[in-house]
Amino acid sequence: MDELDELKQAFFEEAEEQLSDLEAQLAALAESPADAASLNGAFRSVHSIKGGATLVGFARIADFAHAVESLLHRMRSQQLAVDTAVVALLLGSRDLLHDLVRAASTGADLADGAEAIFVRQIDSYAGRPILSQNPAPSPQRLVRLQLMPAADYLARGGDPRRLFAELRRHGALSVVVDTSALPPLEALDPGAMHLRWTMALETAATVAQLRDVFAAQARADEYEIVDCGSPAAAAPDSSIAVSSADVQVSAAVVDPDAAEPPPAKGDKDMSAVSPSERDTAAIAVEDAIAPIVSSIRVDLDRMDKLVNLVGELVISQAMLAEQLHALPTGQFPQLARGIEELSRHARDLQEGVMAMRAQPVQSLFSRVPRLLRELSQHTGKRLQLVSSGEDTEIDKTVIEHLHDPITHMIRNAVDHGIELPEARVTRGKPPVGTIRLVARQAGGRIIIEIADDGRGIDRDRLRARAVEAGLIAQDRQMSEEETDNLIFLPGLSTAAAVSSISGRGVGMDIVRRNIQRLGGRVMIRSTPGQGAAFYMSLPLTLAVLDGMVIRVGGETYIVPLANVVESLRPLAKDVHTLVGGGDVLSVRGEYVPLAHIGGMFGVSGAVRDPTDGLVMLVETDDGGRIGLVVDEIVGQQQVVIKSLETNYRAISGVAGATILGNGRVALIVDVSGLRARMGGQAYAPMAEAGARAQREQR
Amino acid sequence: MRTQTAKRRNRTARKTSKATRALRVILAADETDVIALKRRLEAAVAKDRHLAIDAGAVAALTTAGVQVLLAAAASAEARHVQFRLAAGGPAMIDAFGELGLADTIASWLEPAENSRVDDAAEA
């Protein structure tokens, strides 16, 4: 990867963060239009994106960001009111910026002119009258301008061509460039600005208006504006000399909320200092006074390699510890102390490295207010969000995979759970429905709760739909919890009408599958008439797995704890062999297919009769259950996951491998893969198999 | 004033020309990668041969790219070799013009008196 590629990569990562921040700031702005901090935050995000895009040569992104920044500037300078329409325009613009960044990162084509429609709308806002004051047009005058950009001007998103184009909109511009500061080619920093410009502009625009143009693109100390009066009165010599007394802009004007500072010596027209100047100057000063954040960006691949190496270290330490246990007790006290210390350091190191991959769930939560606004508009339901635990941290990869499940669950909560305002009032509830979004850490896992105060799950209706769809038998006895869990079956929806929000039954099964792929589980608690809550329990990291260690013959396997439902020693009367092969086990009226791991993986010496060993009931991705026939359950253990595909090749029914303390490799069982190896028996065929077994029993 | 300076530079280069066959440097359509552009021009200038910049295909050039070309021209002058524009696309001409460098690019476009372009040689 060359230098530019690295810069681009850094830009993509930073832009993603800035876009996420921007969405959160705009959401806050929609809630509180007078919130200056949110408006300033949004401006900063767009400004940063513009700067980064310019630096790496993404002109399309930079130009569009500039247009959005201009709109935000007008809002910051109180020339434009913050209302729902303008926030909606900004949210749409944010999405387009996101698309532009994504297209640049993937090399995909985004239709030419995609931004034109937004730019037209932004321009229409720019043409609206200023709220505070609309000055009368000035007569034509000559204004002398100087642009003396600092070295980091380009890196900050500055572009003289864009500035000059803006100035040309105000009148006839002549430009003289000064190249005297340009270093020799070999000493040139291509990203730094080395040129200076002096300009003469014949214009009817006021000095304040021209300051606005400059201030959106340069710091106050980078330009000078001198009003020379009428062109005829101005000196005929076009060479421009600006004395220090002519400098009207002071970088001391920084705080948009502070009272006007006293005029600096030599200032001619401090009252005309524009809010947009304050924009840029305020950012510069905020940057200067902000606490220095000592952080660096690290490529994710490097981070993963480090995580992997730490995993190796943990395994080595476990092997040493096991060797020590084999030695006579007390014979090597120093060695024991050393290994104990190594163990402690290895654990600290592992936790430290895992923490480096962790990110706050804020980036997930920040998207929810906007989602609720859209859902409210679609459904006519009044909604409010109550959230907490945004600072809770979780592995970056887990966060990336949680966005869709959370969106699905909230859509379902609003569409199926929350009632219309009138219905809520009739039921003695407040007209505004509440969605609660909570993240918290519990032990080594993260719990994310999504709850609503709606009508709760209609169990009778859910059950009827499941019977109708052939997913459960008519006479099947089910607990309330089991009935609620039917919601996760593929193709099941209780929505009376299919809508654009939910109701096609393609949501919750995907939710559970995605969560389970992350090593997590979903639980439901529903109270009729009072609401429903979904709890997602997720691992802090994907590099380490909580597993159940099992023995099959002479081999050891790991079953992800997230899949384990229960284990039992079956009675002979509960085990049935089906016609055509395969065993099922009757568990409280439900027939569960049995997977003989020993037979499937060719392990010699494994128990063949389930009653001689144990059956571990496990849940597959789509909610089906199978029973693993094992010799013995050794215990629960946290293991470091090693990719089988990277180190060997993919094997159906095996999710990966780990190295145990004794140095031996143990395979991690992929429960869904195992079921696929058994012939892809799905939930309905399982019911069918159970019914067949029942017939045989009779 | 700018035009005169630029013309003087090229005249100086012509008087002290070191080679008769100019090295053609073909610029790509997208020259926004200024680091790569700088490297290519550095390598070309280091060959101490007259340079013919073919920018006919350039569709995108940033201000940073303009600076690199200006610095390359200055470095060529310092080595007493010509820096000439064999072809200039509208994007390049616009970029220079908007930045107040129309005279400069015009001076680069002047026909060279003592140089032939070596089409086969690319820096």
Residue A579 — very low, low, confident or very high, per pLDDT cuts 50/70/90? confident
Residue A1 — very low, low, confident or very high, per pLDDT cuts 50/70/90? low
DSSP state of A572: G
- The answer on pLDDT for B115 being more than 60 is no
Nearest-neighbour CA in chain A from B33: distance (Å): 7
Write out pLDDT tens, residues B36-76. Answer: 889 989 988 888 888 888 887 888 888 999 999 999 999 98
A267 residue type, one letter: D
- The answer on pLDDT for A130 being more than 70 is no
Show which of residues 54-113 on chain B sit within 8 Å of chain A, judged by CB atoms.
Answer: 60, 62-64, 67-68, 70-72, 74-75, 78, 95, 98-101
Going from the C-alpha of A2 to that of each of A106, A265, B38, B44, the distances in angstroms are 17, 49, 14, 20
Going from the C-alpha of A495 to that of each of A241, A407, A459, A461, A504, the distances in angstroms are 75, 17, 13, 10, 8
Pairwise CB contact (< 8 Å): B95 & A194: no
Pairwise CB contact (< 8 Å): B41 & A177: no
Give chain B positions within 8 Å (CB) of A194.
67
Pairwise CB contact (< 8 Å): A190 & B100: no
Tell me the two tokens of residue A603: 């392990």
Write out pLDDT tens, residues A312-368. Answer: 887 788 788 878 878 887 888 888 889 888 888 887 888 788 778 888 888 888 888
Structure ipTM: 0.79
Q: Under a CB-based contact definition with an 8 Å cutoff, are residues B115 and B81 in contact?
A: no
Nearest-neighbour CA in chain B from A347: distance (Å): 44
Mean pLDDT of A246-251: 27
Q: Under a CB-based contact definition with an 8 Å cutoff, are residues A594 and A626 in contact?
A: yes
**Contacts from A682-689 at CB under 8 Å and sequence distance 24+?**
A682/A622, A682/A624, A683/A471, A683/A489, A683/A622, A683/A623, A683/A624, A684/A470, A684/A471, A686/A591, A686/A592, A686/A593, A686/A624, A686/A625, A687/A471, A687/A472, A687/A473, A687/A591, A689/A578, A689/A582, A689/A584, A689/A591, A689/A593
Map tokens 């330009």 to a residue: A223
Distance CA A646, CA A666 (A): 16
Give the domain ranges of chain B. 2-112
Residue A613 — very low, low, confident or very high, per pLDDT cuts 50/70/90? very high
Task: Compute, in degrees rounded to 10, the torsion defined by CA atoms A438, A441, A443, A448.
Answer: 40
- Looking at CATH, the fold of the domain delimited by B2-112 is given as Transcription Regulator spoIIAA (3.30.750)
Write out pLDDT tens, residues A398-421. Answer: 888 888 889 889 988 998 899 999
**Lowest-confidence region among A125-139, A411-425, A520-534:** A125-139
Pairwise CB contact (< 8 Å): B32 & A3: no
pLDDT at A139: 63
Among A310, A331, A335, A330, smallest CA distance to A320 is for A335
Q: Point out the residue among A4, A159, A160 whose CB comes nearest to the CB of B36.
A: A4
pLDDT at A552: 94
Residue B116 — very low, low, confident or very high, per pLDDT cuts 50/70/90? very low
Q: Point out the residue among B38, B60, B99 whose CB comes nearest to the CB of A190.
A: B38
Pairwise CB contact (< 8 Å): B34 & A183: no
Pairwise CB contact (< 8 Å): B35 & A4: yes
